[in-house]
Structure 1
């Protein structure tokens, strides 16, 4: 299950590469604030990618700690801490997803 989340993260990274290529072709025509806005958009994409990678890492660590707890190699406190961290990361990712979907829906309601 975690690997499917990671593959979704990989898809977002390939989209980012396409944005970089189009940004570099458009970058020659952009000056001043428009160029700065394009760099900030790329920065937002990298932040979102890092957040997704961090969530996947937290989920994998929680899974490992859970198996170690079952095997008796980790104490209960370590398992609970890892699972709570993974849950917090997942809830944050879900909240971002919900906000992005709501923003998209609001944009689609705008009449041109």
Structure 2
């Protein structure tokens, strides 16, 4: 499940408020400014992940930021992964012939902070 979370995370970006002036990468961020952290982009960082645009379910060291990190780690992350694993396993067991009918027909909701399907064309 970590490979899937890294490859295409639901939360693409989060917003934080700068707590105190700090310089990062030659730029000063001022206290009170908003900072957008693009988790989807960080999970595709070629300096961290070899061949980052390839979904590899057996990729080792899959330390992604889809659920945050440190004090900002989503406490619901492990539950979300467990629920997804149970749901996917149940679908595969109950509908063994489930197939995507047309990848080009996937419809995504337009939201820069979250990535979610609005339609998933399948047959079973």
TM-score, length of structure 1 as denominator length: 0.27
TM-score, length of structure 2 as denominator length: 0.25
Query: Which protein has the bigger helix share?
Result: 1
